[in-house]
Structure 1
Amino acid sequence: MPIVPDAGGDQDDRDQGAADFGGPLFRDEQEPDIRPQEPAAPQTANAAKKSAGRDLRAAIGVGVGLGAVILASLFIYKPVFLGVIVVAVVVGLWELTSRLAEKKAIRAPLVPLAVGGAAMVVAGFVNGAEGAWVAMAFTALAVLVWRMTEPPEDYLRDVTAGIFAAFYVPFLATFVALMLAADDGAWRVLTFLVLTVVSDTGAYAVGWRFGKNKLAPRISPGKTREGLLGAVAFAMVAGALCTHFLIDGGVWWQGLLLGLAVAVSATLGDLGESMIKRDLGIKDMGALLPGHGGIMDRLDSLLPTAPVVWLLLVVFVGST
């Protein structure tokens, strides 16, 4: 899965010296660090090269490298890109279940989630939506049975968290595989990625310059209503262009609706993961990607956007 910015992110304080850059290489909004803080140390030259605690050089390098691998796999051989989705799903599940265990003592079983998540993605690509639903059902059943091997205390809590994780990460990611399975699947997936990136970049650019009214201050203080309008405007223009030039049978007005839907779903996805991280009391889901956080910190706007784009493209141009 690609490295893209968080949807609807804007600067919490536009007068800060070092801005958090938006676009596909940077996190455009940094979650406030609510962990216990050590006494502040004098700023060094290396710290001055970082933006909001993130190394911009590392962010650029990681973003460019992963972006190149993802695009190459997408257009060279579809099964390779399918493998990229599976890897992202498994790593995302590992991050999510690890944080749940560390911060809430919730033991969502990783093994059936990882196996079932990979099966969901492959089943969706091979057998369509029906295959994905069947794999989801068996994954939920496997979570229920696997957890029975441990003491019964907190059983309901743990399996509920496990089923939530199965839906939130692999099931939503399966819609990328459903898009990929179409004859023009690579272009559908590219449209999905481009619109999410453009939406997030538009949110950052407009919010950083004009943002004054907070969108959801208790969830994500950096997001503004002006940023959301920027996301909508940028995504609608990009949607019209992508639908007209990249999607077989697509017309520009369909792209306008597609862009509007992407801007809304990507923003809600970002806010949703912010809620999870605030509940867990963490800044990032992981530290696997230098300058970006974890895989889940990159998937927050993509996951809920995937079913939206898949459905609208099916309605507009069909599923094949």
Structure 2
Amino acid sequence: MNDSSWQPEPVPAGPAYDAQAGPHTRPMPIVPDAAGRDFDDREARDRGAAAAGGPPFRAETPPQEPMPSPPPPHAPQPQDVPPPPPKKRAGRDLRAAIGVGVGLGAVIFASLLIVKAVFVGVVVVAVVVGLWELTSRLQEKKGIKAPLVPLAVGGAAMIIAGYVRGAEGAWVAMALTALAVLVWRMTEPPEDYLKDVTAGVFAAFYVPFLATFVALLLTADDGPQRVITFLLLTVVSDTGAYAVGWRFGKTKLAPRISPGKTREGLLGAVAFAMAAGALCMEFLIDGGAWWQGLLLGLAVAVSATLGDLGESMIKRDLGIKDMGTLLPGHGGIMDRLDSLLPTAPVVWLLLAAFVGTG
């Protein structure tokens, strides 16, 4: 029909009519929520809140946290950042070590400058204490009873005989000390006799006999200067090895014996000792030449390193870190004599060849 006066029939009142679907559509049931309100009430409330300018209220929908923005594609992740390299640390208390070293050096130099015999007494005391440390560790860790009394008496006799009678006196005292060790051990049961006397003879050679060459150095006219050269080169060699090895050391020298020693440290010991040897031979030793000092420094660096490795072998076999605790920052007396003992005969022999024994 095209009659413009036609009007649609009035919509009957009631909830059963859907304007979208028409009068024949089955109305959707109104489901109340948990609070007893139906959806029409909540929709009306939401529409009212929107008309007032606020957001629609949804009590059952919690507010959402904003999502964190993803990191840039090339930004390093926390687990990808490598930890800082550990700082190198010295294995001992450097302040205590330096203080004890300076104190020992003052005692040695003072004894050399006062009277030669006083320095011989210092050597005797060091030898006896070193023998006590060595024999004590052998008995504690290995059950080896090297007799200390004949070793201490014979060791002191070796040092004094070497200073008074020279090399011949030192050899005689060494032989008598070995014989005294054999006899002294006979006063105890025969079990482990061979092991005990072998350790005793070894201790007699290792500590007092090698130390006798220090007394032989002192017998020359310029004896104090020779002893100072011997001590100075050994200390400089150890210092060069420590300084260069700590800063640049990467290649292990003998990892199964002493993991802390490196080939770079050995090169540092050689360089430092050769430089100090040239200066000592030029300015301290009568008739010495700088090139002789280079050879002397090289020999000292090698012998001091071998001596240190030798005592490290002994300590590893015994399962200990230090021979004693008498010297803070250093360990025991034997831990300071390790590089000095094998170096003494080397220095005495080379100085005798270069400038004589007078």
Structure 1 portions without partners, runs of 5+: 1-14, 21-51
The Cα shift of 1:60 comes to 2.9
* Identity score, percent: 86
The one of 294, 318, 321 aligned to 1:280: 318
Which residue in 1 is equivalent to 2:149?
A: 111
Q: Report which of the two has the higher share of helix.
A: 1
Deviation at 1:211, TM superposition (A): 1.3
Structure 2 equivalent of residue 66 of structure 1: 104
Q: Sort the Cα spacing of 1:205 and 1:61 in 2 relative to 1 into closer, same or farther, 3 A.
A: closer
CA deviations 1:120-165 (Å, max 9, x no partner) are 0000000110000000000000000000000000100000000000
- Alpha-carbon spacing, 1:16–1:292, altered in 2? closer, same or farther (3 Å): farther
Partners of 1:56 and 1:18 lie apart in 2 by: 13
In structure 2, the partner of 1:195 is 233
Mapping for residues 1-320 of structure 1, pairs under 5 Å: 16-17=86-87, 19-20=89-90, 52=91, 54-320=92-358
Aligned-residue RMSD, C-alpha: 1.1
Render the CA deviation track for 1:11-47: whole Å, top value 9, x for unaligned. Answer: xxxx653632xxxxxxxxxxxxxxxxxxxxxxxxxxx
Number of residue pairs the alignment of both structures matches: 274
Tell me the distance in 1 between the aligned counterparts of 2:306 and 2:88: 26
- Match for 1:60: what amino acid? I
Per-residue Cα deviation, 1:81-113 (whole angstroms, up to 9, x for no partner) = 000000000000000000000000000000000
Structure 1-normalised TM-score? 0.84
Question: Could you give the per-residue CA deviations for residues 157-187 of structure 1, whole angstroms, max 9, x where no partner exists?
Answer: 0000000000000000000000011110000
Q: Secondary structure at the match of 2:286?
A: coil
Q: Secondary structure at the match of 2:259?
A: strand
TM-score normalized by structure 2?
Answer: 0.75
Provide the C-alpha distance between the structure 2 equivalents of 1:128 and 1:282, rounded to a whole number of angstroms.
Answer: 36
Shift of 1:63: 1.9
Instruction: Give the superposition deviation at 1:201.
Output: 1.1
Q: CA deviation at 1:271?
A: 0.2
SS of residue matched to 2:186: helix
- The letter for the 1-side match of 2:152 is A
Structure with more relative contact order (C-alpha pairs < 8 Å, separation 6 or more): 1
Q: Which amino acid aligns with 2:147?
A: P
Provide the C-alpha distance between the structure 2 equivalents of 1:201 and 1:57, rounded to a whole number of angstroms: 15
Name the aligned partner's letter for residue 252 of structure 1: W
Q: Distance in 2 between matches of 1:81 and 1:215?
A: 35
The residue type equivalent to 1:218 in the other structure is R
User: Aligned partners of 1:18, 1:214: CA distance in 2, in Å?
Assistant: 16
Tell me, in whole angstroms, the C-alpha distance in 1 between the residues paired with 2:177 and 2:230.
27
Matching residue's letter, 2:313: M
Tell me the amino acid that sits aligned with residue 171 of structure 1: F
Q: Name the CA shift for 1:112/1:282 in 2 (closer, same or farther; >3 Å).
A: same
Unaligned runs of 5+ in 2: 1-84
